[in-house]
Chains A and B, each alone.
Chain A
Amino acid sequence: GESVGLHLPTLSVQEGDNSIINCAYSNSASDYFIWYKQESGKGPQFIIDIRSNMDKRQGQRVTVLLNKTVKHLSLQIAATQPGDSAVYFCAETRYNNDMRFGAGTRLTVKP
């Protein structure tokens, strides 16, 4: 069935290294993809988004890449910091705001 999922449930990186979090989606009709960050005990927080007609979008220390050919989405975090430790969710929207989330990847940054 249609789904949004993540390749790896956990990711551990050294402080200062770059992090790459991956996400697969199955519905080519999705028109918007979003990455959220969730810290322990808090609600998800918007990081960055990308429209389906784009391949790449950059923010502050983050880059989202969209490969529509293989239905793959990734979040790259440059110079990962301890404050980046959290669970990261990808999400897709198909009908305006009806958003479907993946299961999440836990990122741990080692000092």
Chain B
Amino acid sequence: RKEVEQDPGPFNVPEGATVAFNCTYSNSASQSFFWYRQDCRKEPKLLMSVYSSGNEDGRFTAQLNRASQYISLLIRDSKLSDSATYLCVAHNNNDMRFGAGTRLTVKP
């Protein structure tokens, strides 16, 4: 079983839609969590860190549920430019584990 599991998708949504991705992690010692965005044939780039209380950055909201060991990302009012693969990451001091990613395509 992978340490970080994500639904691979693809999620195909129309512009303006709200879409949510979930991610589960198996290592209860994980201390910090991130969402990265990766465009086709490019490097991953940090989208946002995930805090225990949940955090919002514009159209993006991240939530962490430590008891259930899952992390979520909500994207509101989807734009064409949001089309990418979203990587979930669980990190402790010595180990950073990436999910395989969820692919999102936003269509006009």
Binding between chains A and B: no
Binding site for A on B (CB under 8 A): none
